[in-house]
Structure 1
Amino acid sequence: MDHSDAIPMQRVAIVAGELSGDLLGAGLIRALARRHPGVRFEGIGGPGMRAAGLDSLYPLETLSVMGLVEVLRHLPRLLRVRNDLLERFSANPPDVFIGIDAPDFNLGLERRLRARGVRTVHYVSPSVWAWRQARIHGIARSVDRMLTLLPFEAAFYERHHVPVTFVGHPAADRFPMDVDVSAYRTALEVPDDAPVLAVLPGSRGGEMERIGPIFAETVARLRRAHPDLQVVAPMATAALRARFEVLLAAAGVTGGVNLIDGRSAEAMGAADVVLTASGTATLEAMLLKRPMVVAYRVAPATAWLVRHLRLLKTPYVALPNLLADEALVPEYIQDEATPAAMAQGVQRLLEDRGRAAAMQARFEELHQRLRRGADERAAEAVEHTVG
């Protein structure tokens, strides 16, 4: 690819707020460095971005604060960091400022920098297309260009006349098109000839408390219907593993479940069917071409507000359904997320191979749509914004 027409960049400011953003930032830094030898990067990032060449002014953990109480407790420090970056990049403006995700931190910084004449790019759209759509007006004041991972996000920004580039999803570049299920099973020591279910009841404590019991009871029902069913359940933390063990025992599950630490992609890759909480795991399951059933529950008060204030603007929750714009995978949300319904959804996919194969074929199409060479496309969009 010829980059000779691009204006040479000398200094790029870039801020990521968590490890997923660090992964995106590392790929983008490498792509920009290939295009602009000698360019310097400074801001906030983690191990991946630092290894790629970022001078990180603060540890990544400075911004990795989850939950309202935690944010309030750390707010004075977060504001000091943001003000420091604002003054630093205003006094010595970079060619461009790139905020990666962390919208509560980055969009406010981007808006102030843009008002002072600094070009700004935001990488990873907030879920403004799904809820609180009025946020688009603040975003429009903050960014010279939005980079989105998903095509329907770009369409939303285009409708609101915000400059946008759909760059594709880096995970779609990372996951192979052809999935070697046998290799995944060998890695996890799962029999090749057994039916396998991967169960992912969420990666946070609140999720486990709301839907863990339902997932455990679903596993119990499926094990009764299919005594040879092998269940692999990757757990994000030791605490979640211990809690799910208790829930499985309470549901009467005494065998056939292998709880493992992490390794969620391997667990899903080894499975005939995936039962997962809504979230990023649905994207990975889709990229692994694994038929899936998706379930989710939020706190009752949150569900009431979303329903009565009509905050949710999309007909689906699961990412594969949003991408396909149809009910491609069964999703059971709130009161619909019952063990009976979820077990039935899994059984249909275990027993009807035609249904499962049709779902896998659509997953392959969606994978191709997201597989765009995200790092290079993001770098090209940044160049376009600067030039």
Structure 2
Amino acid sequence: MKEQLLVEAGADKAPLFGIVVGEHSGDTLGAGLMKELLKTFPDAKFVGIGGPKMKALGFNSLFDMEELAVMGVFEVLGRLRRLFKVRDELVDYFKQHRPDVFIGIDAPDFNLRLELPLKQSGIKTIHYVSPSVWAWRHKRIFKIAEATNMVLSLLPFEKAFYDKYNVPCTFVGHPLADDIPLSSDKAKAREELGLGNGKILAIMPGSRGGELSRLVPVFLASAKQLFQEDSTLTFVAPMVSEKRAEQFNKLHQEHAPELPITVVVDKTQQVMAASDCLLIASGTVTLEAALIKRPMVVCYKFNPMTYHMFKGFVKIKWFSLPNLLADKALLPELLQGNVTTDKIVPLLKERLYQDQSDLTQSYLDIHQSLKQNASKQSAQAVIDLMAES
């Protein structure tokens, strides 16, 4: 009924949605949201910052998404002036071209600072993907409440945290759980990628330039040691873009030119489905891997100064999403100084050569809890907010 009233009320004017995403996972969420909103508002306009999937749906991106793909305090400091300039220009743009709703997707350090002045000017704001406020710096929730009319959370335990503070939050589930089948066909994925039937290890050092620079050398060293012991192993590195593939290839030539690695662009899920095990950077991609039901070893390295500055503020037992969702150690995690070949290789051997079928049910439980038709739920939350006076 609300959808019908909105369509009738806006019959002479196509709604305008402001959206800003900061990385490829946000681009996927944004594209899913756009598709659902277009079902109700086929003439809707979308503008802000988007990635290739959103642009393919007609999104008008005012800046390149890579502008915001920065992680870590000291990395951000080097780009602070530019980030402030982008934010200020977006604020001015949206105040002049007022969207019916503004949706900041992830990138909380940037988007919450953008959402605040927009909300203060009377524009309705939604933050899609909760910041990890439940994990560290809990008092940020008050800033989130000040900047947004609604938070859309992907994970069930996040809503419970927001409810505790009476901050509007809707659990929508995770689009990846909707898109990825409950069972992934390894043989089919290998055939599509032209890979053989031997053991395959996916090398996945992240989607940001800084992540690759910190993780690729140790990932390659670990792969070299495995290859020396088993020359039948196949290594595949899925990259999110040609830019990241170029960076990976350069690091490969610097650190392990003799190691055979197949680099594949924009087919991450297929590579994961084809693999027996993943050596993977922490992030949303670990949830993707759990939904595809593959064993993995999760690693992460921050800029050293960033890590030492904030390590005392973290209040959680685990940092990978599968472990957080299961509330137990489903998979091994290595952080900062523990990301070494000596620690990585034994963990990979165990997962490559020993039975890992016990993981499947835990992964399936996670999958079913997140399979909520998230893009449709998110679009409905946007529509509901538009309908509020």
TM-score by length of 1: 0.85
Distance of 1:200 and 1:108 partners within structure 2: 31
Task: Using the TM superposition, give the Cα deviation of residue 62 of structure 1 relative to its aligned residue in structure 2, in angstroms.
Answer: 8.7
Distance of 1:211 and 1:24 partners within structure 2: 26
Match of 1:76 among 71, 79, 85: 85
Distance 1:85 1:181, change over 3 A: same
Distance of 2:152 and 2:133 partners within structure 1: 14
2:261 is the counterpart of 1:258: yes
Task: Using the TM superposition, give the Cα deviation of residue 82 of structure 1 relative to its aligned residue in structure 2, in angstroms.
Answer: 1.5
| Structure 2 gap segments, 5+ residues each | none
Match of 1:245 in 2: 253
**Cα deviation digits, residues 277-333 of structure 1 (max 9, x gap):** 2123312211211111111222332222223xx221221111111111111111111
Distance of 1:131 and 1:137 partners within structure 2: 13
Distance 1:216 1:36, change over 3 A: closer
Identity of aligned residues (%): 37
After superposing the two structures, state which structure 1 stretch, 41-50 or 315-324, moved more: 41-50
Give the residue type in structure 1 aligned to 2:28: L
The number of residue pairs the alignment matches comes to 371
The alignment partner of 1:261 has SS state of: strand
Task: Using the TM superposition, give the Cα deviation of residue 265 of structure 1 relative to its aligned residue in structure 2, in angstroms.
Answer: 2.3
The alignment partner of 1:126 has SS state of: coil
2:342 is the counterpart of 1:337: no
> Is contact 2:47-2:62 (8 Å) kept?
no
Distance 1:175 1:135, change over 3 A: same
Task: Using the TM superposition, give the Cα deviation of residue 190 of structure 1 relative to its aligned residue in structure 2, in angstroms.
Answer: 2.3
| Structure 1 gap segments, 5+ residues each | none
Match of 2:17 among 13, 23, 40: 13
Task: Using the TM superposition, give the Cα deviation of residue 4 of structure 1 relative to its aligned residue in structure 2, in angstroms.
Answer: 6.0
Task: Using the TM superposition, give the Cα deviation of residue 189 of structure 1 relative to its aligned residue in structure 2, in angstroms.
Answer: 2.6
Match of 2:294 among 290, 303, 309: 290
Match of 1:115 in 2: 120
Match of 1:188 among 190, 193, 196: 193
Q: Say what the alpha-carbon RMSD is for the aligned residues.
A: 2.7
2:377 is the counterpart of 1:373: no
After superposing the two structures, state which structure 1 stretch, 44-53 or 297-306, moved more: 44-53
Match of 1:322 in 2: 324
Give the residue type in structure 2 aligned to 1:106: N
Distance of 2:178 and 2:90 partners within structure 1: 33
2:222 is the counterpart of 1:222: no
> Is contact 1:238-1:261 (8 Å) kept?
no
Distance 1:34 1:70, change over 3 A: same
Distance of 1:34 and 1:208 partners within structure 2: 38
> Is contact 2:245-2:263 (8 Å) kept?
no
> Is contact 2:178-2:374 (8 Å) kept?
yes
> Is contact 2:104-2:115 (8 Å) kept?
yes
After superposing the two structures, state which structure 1 stretch, 163-172 or 109-118, moved more: 109-118
Give the residue type in structure 2 aligned to 1:366: I
> Is contact 2:200-2:234 (8 Å) kept?
yes
Task: Using the TM superposition, give the Cα deviation of residue 237 of structure 1 relative to its aligned residue in structure 2, in angstroms.
Answer: 2.0
Distance of 1:286 and 1:292 partners within structure 2: 9
Match of 1:148 in 2: 153
> Is contact 2:217-2:251 (8 Å) kept?
no
Distance of 1:285 and 1:210 partners within structure 2: 21
Distance 1:126 1:4, change over 3 A: closer
The alignment partner of 2:313 has SS state of: coil
Task: Using the TM superposition, give the Cα deviation of residue 242 of structure 1 relative to its aligned residue in structure 2, in angstroms.
Answer: 2.1
Match of 1:85 in 2: 94
Distance 1:5 1:264, change over 3 A: closer
Match of 2:165 among 149, 160, 163: 160
Match of 1:125 in 2: 130
> Is contact 2:133-2:140 (8 Å) kept?
yes
Match of 2:285 in 1: 281
Match of 2:385 in 1: 385
> Is contact 2:2-2:383 (8 Å) kept?
no
Task: Using the TM superposition, give the Cα deviation of residue 347 of structure 1 relative to its aligned residue in structure 2, in angstroms.
Answer: 1.5
Distance 1:372 1:221, change over 3 A: same
Distance of 2:46 and 2:93 partners within structure 1: 17
Distance 1:41 1:246, change over 3 A: closer
Task: Using the TM superposition, give the Cα deviation of residue 29 of structure 1 relative to its aligned residue in structure 2, in angstroms.
Answer: 2.6
Give the residue type in structure 1 aligned to 2:206: G
Match of 2:179 in 1: 174
> Is contact 1:223-1:229 (8 Å) kept?
yes
TM-score by length of 2: 0.85
**Cα deviation digits, residues 223-275 of structure 1 (max 9, x gap):** 233332222223432122221233225xxxx45x3231323322221111111
The alignment partner of 2:237 has SS state of: strand
Distance of 2:82 and 2:111 partners within structure 1: 19
After superposing the two structures, state which structure 1 stretch, 235-244 or 265-274, moved more: 235-244
Match of 2:351 in 1: 349
> Is contact 1:62-1:78 (8 Å) kept?
no
> Is contact 1:6-1:383 (8 Å) kept?
no
Task: Using the TM superposition, give the Cα deviation of residue 72 of structure 1 relative to its aligned residue in structure 2, in angstroms.
Answer: 1.7
